[in-house]
Chain A
Amino acid sequence: MCPPPPRSTCRAWSAWTGGAAAVLAEAWGDALRGGAAVSFQNASGEVGSILALYTERAARDCLRPPPKRESTLTQIGRETVVKLVVVKRILAFIGHMLQATGSALRNPRTLNWEGIWRLMERHGTDGAPIALLIAFLIGLITAFQASVQLAQFGADSLVADLVSLSLTRELAPLMTAIVIAGRSGASIAAEMGTMQVSEEVDALRTMGFDPYRYLVFPRLLVLMIITPLMTLLADGVGILGGLGIAVAQLDVSPLSYLLSVRNALDLWDVFGGAIKGVVFGAIVALTACERGLGTTGGAEGVGRATTSAVVAMMFYLVLADTLFAVLFNLYGV
């Protein structure tokens, strides 16, 4: 920035703003740091008082040593430490959770069952309509797309097989988990984050409550129960969605569609989806709670933690589904 002229007369100025004074004070400070002797003269009234307010601070800043620029190596080091702290936090979370789970399983009577039933209602019953509606639509879309494609090969009788297998093995567990992550996972992360920033988690600890046992374990338990149950319901509702298309578009009788479904599915297809549901429920609960309890920085931090939780949940769910696909394929199921 160019320094102002060494001598500035302010007599002609009758009024100005703090913004103008800030720009002038900045230039004046730069000039002082550069060794120039600059002064303002004849500033009076409003101009004088605003100028004095800003230049006093600029002069004070000149006495301080300029902040050192961080070297690239320092920046890399700092970022590495930040990442390591996150890893340490996640490991600590896992350790605390294992401890809390062990303690809860040893003394199940001491769990807050009343709270667990409330959570079941909030995350299960209240969330079921939207999850099941989506499952119905997925079944309908799958049947519709399958009927169009399979008809080209005269294989439209396989619509029931395709719908039932794709739903029970893949679509119902994953879509249900994604809906639960978006609805319950986000709500849990925001709730935990708010409790963290408003010191409620600290208050719990000072009252002798283990937050992992009191807050995290019930949510883990609830999502591990409701996700597979909701997946099983989604299987049925999705197959019904396919039935609608099969009856309306392919002239297949409902009975023959259902018989085809029964012949296509074996128990493991349904059971495997339910197992996925248990794991997906755990992923949603643990990720939401971990991000929520790691919240810092007020309302903005809660928003950040919730967004981060939802993104992480989606990634972990798809990753886990991929691992399941590999494992099921490996063991021929």
Chain B
Amino acid sequence: MAAISVQDLAIGFGGSAIQEHLTFQVGTGEVFLILGGSGCGKSTLLRHLIGLQAPMAGSIEIAGIGDPLDSIAGKPAFGVMFQSGALFGSMTLAQNVGLPLRRWTNLELSTIETIVRWKLRLVGLDGFENHLPSEISGGMKKRAGIARAMALETNLLFLDEPSAGLDPVSAVELDELILTLSAGLGMTIVIVTHELESIFKIGSRCIMLDKEARGIIAEGDPRVLRDDPPNFKVRTFFRRLPAGGI
């Protein structure tokens, strides 16, 4: 059964579409990647999938909740990690991760503290509960963002460029974490990225968007697309070839 079903979606700003006729499905338990060059609309598509922006046309259906736009004001059915982690600067990591639990559960404070400690432990941040976001590295902020996204035990995670801007070691550690979460918890994870190493390591399936074509130019297993690219643009992307620049 599909965790997410996207049908003939058009996305954009101010009445002009940047991507049109997007149709794809994300299977339950998949690590699904949204790929493409800078400015092609990957993050905009993600904003639509999580209900922050209304589609210009078409529909998005998330299993169990329906249209994400309708569910945005209620209890979250999915977790989201934003590119910068988007942690609240005035709160400690524990308060950040505990925020959705305090909002949506009636658990005792001590229970919430235990859950938060374990969530942070799962992402390798045990011992950092009382640190402020300004006191930790970029990679740690992203890990804390993932811990907060998992706080409400949802089975669907959206990650926006998780390894962007990280050093190679932190990026690999984050990739390992994503694989662990996917395998260990059976989560469906949708990731926006253009980091090739991560793509081949963690992605089970992907779609590739293109700015000029304003649509999906490839869909499938990223390793297969790399070895047998269906068109020139996919080839240049996966093999890091210049598309006309230096």
Name A's B-contacting residues (CB within 8 A): 53, 60, 85, 194-195, 198-200, 202-203, 205-210
Separation of A249 and B82 alpha carbons in the complex (Å): 64
For residue A197, which residue of chain B has the nearest CB? B84
| Selected A-B contacts with CB under 8 Å, 29 pairs | A60-B244, A194-B89, A198-B84, A198-B86, A199-B82, A199-B86, A200-B86, A200-B87, A202-B47, A202-B82, A202-B86, A203-B80, A203-B86, A203-B148, A205-B52, A205-B72, A206-B51, A206-B52, A206-B72, A206-B76, A206-B78, A206-B79, A207-B76, A207-B99, A207-B103, A208-B72, A208-B74, A208-B75, A208-B76
For residue A202, which residue of chain B has the nearest CB? B52
Which residues from chain A contact B84 at a C-beta distance below 8 Å? 198-199
Which residues from chain A contact B89 at a C-beta distance below 8 Å? 194, 200
Separation of A199 and B43 alpha carbons in the complex (Å): 12
Which residues from chain A contact B72 at a C-beta distance below 8 Å? 205-206, 208
For residue B245, which residue of chain A has the nearest CB? A57
Q: Write the nearest CB–CB distance from A156 to chain B, whole angstroms.
A: 52
Q: Write the nearest CB–CB distance from B126 to chain A, whole angstroms.
A: 23
Which residues from chain B contact A202 at a C-beta distance below 8 Å? 47, 52, 80, 82, 86
For residue A85, which residue of chain B has the nearest CB? B14
Quick check: is B83 within 8 A (CB to CB) of the other chain?
A: yes
Interface of chain B residues 171 through 187 with chain A (CB within 8 A): none
Name B's A-contacting residues (CB within 8 A): 14, 47, 50-52, 72-76, 78-80, 82-84, 86-89, 99-100, 103-104, 148, 244, 246
Which residues from chain A contact B86 at a C-beta distance below 8 Å? 198-200, 202-203
Interface centre among A60, A199, A203, A209 (most CB of B within 10 A): A203
For residue A118, which residue of chain B has the nearest CB? B90
Q: Judging by beta carbons under 8 Å apart, are A207 and B88 in contact?
A: no
Q: Judging by beta carbons under 8 Å apart, are B83 and A207 in contact?
A: no
Separation of A4 and B186 alpha carbons in the complex (Å): 67
Which residues from chain B contact A207 at a C-beta distance below 8 Å? 76, 99-100, 103, 148
Q: Which 5 interchain pairs have the tightest Cβ spacing?
A: A203-B86, A199-B82, A199-B86, A206-B80, A207-B100
Given the interface contacts A207-B100, A207-B103, A209-B103, does A200 sit within 8 Å of B88 by beta carbon?
A: yes
Separation of A194 and B79 alpha carbons in the complex (Å): 22
Across the interface, B103 reaches (CB within 8 A) one of A198, A200, A208, namely: A208
Q: Judging by beta carbons under 8 Å apart, are B50 and A206 in contact?
A: yes
For residue B47, which residue of chain A has the nearest CB? A202
Q: Judging by beta carbons under 8 Å apart, are A208 and B100 in contact?
A: yes
Which residues from chain A contact B79 at a C-beta distance below 8 Å? 206
